[in-house]
Structure 1
Amino acid sequence: MTGVPGLRERKKQATRQALQSAALRLALERGPDNVRVEDIAEAAGVSPRTYNNYFSSREQAIVAAVAADRAAHLAASVTGRPAGTGLADTVIDAVVASYTDPGDQPRDALLMIATSPGLRACYVEAVTTIEDTLAGAVTARCPGLDPPTAEVLSAAVGAATRIALRRWLQATAVPPSMPGFVVPSGSLPELIRTALTPLAPALDAAGR
């Protein structure tokens, strides 16, 4: 039987999820600079050595929790849209919504990432995690679409989203009363929609 993970893989997934959740919770409680790898490992009930088998830094674990939640949110949005909606509108609206609705994560998780240089760099790269999830959702929505095409389109969506994120994070403002505190400016959903719009013809063609 294929497609069903074995016991060992399920345990690895559970450990990764526990580490991600612990990392994000501690970062929100204490601030990311006050969280150590040892703290995350202890909160997840594993050793620091086991932690290093999954993540190479605390930042990687923190952003993985947010990225994984948004990927799941995105897939549910794509598969849940009415059947008559075009693939472009479906995918673009779903990606934009994943950065508008916090899903299962606190609303300040993305702001925490935006205001931490280390987390920002990791998060932009972590967006690649949406690609496999999105490809699966697109294939489920359009059964006649061949998997390689779904993967190429999803990779293009991921690339456009990373560009929008970089532009959002680079356009920062420093409040005069709060030196050293960086706040992103501009609308992230608007930037994402603008970045994805050139992909609409290809998405709609694939959906037909």
Structure 2
Amino acid sequence: MPHEDDAPLGLRERKKRATRVALSQATIGLCIQRGWDNVTVEDIAAAANVSVRTFRNYFSSKAEAIAAGHLERMLRIADELRDRPDAEPLWDSIVHAVQSQFAAGDAAAAAGGGSAHDRRWQDGLRLMLAEPALQGEVVKANAAAQDELAKAIAERTGTDATRDLYPKLVAAVVSAGSAVAVEHCLRADSPTPLGPVLTEVFEQLARGLPVP
């Protein structure tokens, strides 16, 4: 029987998660628009309509806030994977889950769409991701993201996310494949939509990466 406090705790957790997302998005947006060195915690708090203290309650730095965006996206992919039909092949479910998150509006902005504004956004995102201060936080966020994704994969496949190799391997492949697709789009000579690149990446993975 569910505990009487489950719903309130669930609501509080959803609100905390929403606040983390808002702060992360505000940090990313400001750093892309203004440049890394021209954004302060005070700027971020004002953009997110919260106090500086609230920001500090969630993140210790701009870098941690930005990396949290990656973790949140992977958490949503794990949630989406759990919601896919049980009878659906695993890799079909993974493709749907990844596409639903990366190929949404924020990913379209990240990949660029052809206008001068999109190109500036793409260039700003590339510069932001190259910041040395961000690298360590991204590594930590990616490790946490893979752990959560492995749990969702283990649930679908009847394996153990701690003891078995398979869910951890698939989670690592999904993470790497997604990162390669984003990097490919960001470094393309002309703005390249992310959705088709993600589809190609996971089609090749599902086929076992045949030699071209």
TM-score bin (small chain): 0.5 to 0.7
Query: Given residue 160 of structure 1, which amino acid in structure 2 is its aligned partner?
Result: V
Q: Determine the structure 2 residue equivalent to 1:72.
A: 76
Q: Determine the structure 2 residue equivalent to 1:94.
A: 96
Q: How far is 1:53 from its partner? A: 4.1
Q: How far is 1:156 from its partner? A: 2.0
Q: Measure, in 2, the Cα distance between the counterparts of 1:147 and 1:40.
A: 40
> Residues 51-83 of structure 1: CA distance to partner in whole angstroms, max 9, x if unpaired?
34432432331342354135314532x234343
Q: Measure, in 1, the Cα distance between the counterparts of 2:206 and 2:73.
A: 21
Aligned sequence identity (%)? 27
> Residues 156-179 of structure 1: CA distance to partner in whole angstroms, max 9, x if unpaired?
23322444425863898586xxxx
> Residues 11-33 of structure 1: CA distance to partner in whole angstroms, max 9, x if unpaired?
644542332233234345x2442
> Residues 86-112 of structure 1: CA distance to partner in whole angstroms, max 9, x if unpaired?
224323x2355256522x525113564
Q: Measure, in 1, the Cα distance between the counterparts of 2:181 and 2:107.
A: 23
- Asked if 1:46 corresponds to 2:47, the answer is no
> Residues 96-151 of structure 1: CA distance to partner in whole angstroms, max 9, x if unpaired?
5256522x525113564444312974556533443344345445545xx2543698
- Asked if 1:59 corresponds to 2:63, the answer is yes
- SS of 2:106's equivalent in the other structure is coil
Matches within 5 A, 1:99-110: 101-102=103-104, 105=106, 107-109=108-110
Q: How many residues align?
A: 187
Q: Determine the structure 1 residue equivalent to 2:88.
A: 85
Q: Verify the 8 A CA contact 1:74 1:94 in the aligned structure 2.
A: no
- SS of 1:155's equivalent in the other structure is helix
Q: Which moved more, 1:53-62 or 1:6-15?
A: 6-15
Q: Measure, in 2, the Cα distance between the counterparts of 1:115 and 1:50.
A: 27
TM-score by length of 1: 0.59
Note the residue ranges of structure 2 that are not aligned, 5 or more in a row: 113-121
- SS of 1:127's equivalent in the other structure is helix
Note the residue ranges of structure 1 that are not aligned, 5 or more in a row: 176-182, 200-208
Q: Measure, in 2, the Cα distance between the counterparts of 1:110 and 1:151.
A: 35
Q: Determine the structure 1 residue equivalent to 2:149.
A: 134
RMSD: 4.7
TM-score by length of 2: 0.58
Matches within 5 A, 1:1-208: 1=3, 4=6, 6=9, 10=13, 12-27=16-31, 30-33=33-36, 34-44=38-48, 45-47=50-52, 49-76=53-80, 78-91=81-94, 93-94=95-96, 96-98=98-100, 101-102=103-104, 105=106, 107-109=108-110, 112=122, 113-116=125-128, 117-118=130-131, 121=135, 123=138, 126-138=141-153, 141=156, 145-148=158-161, 152-164=165-177, 165=179, 169=183, 187-191=197-201, 193-194=203-204
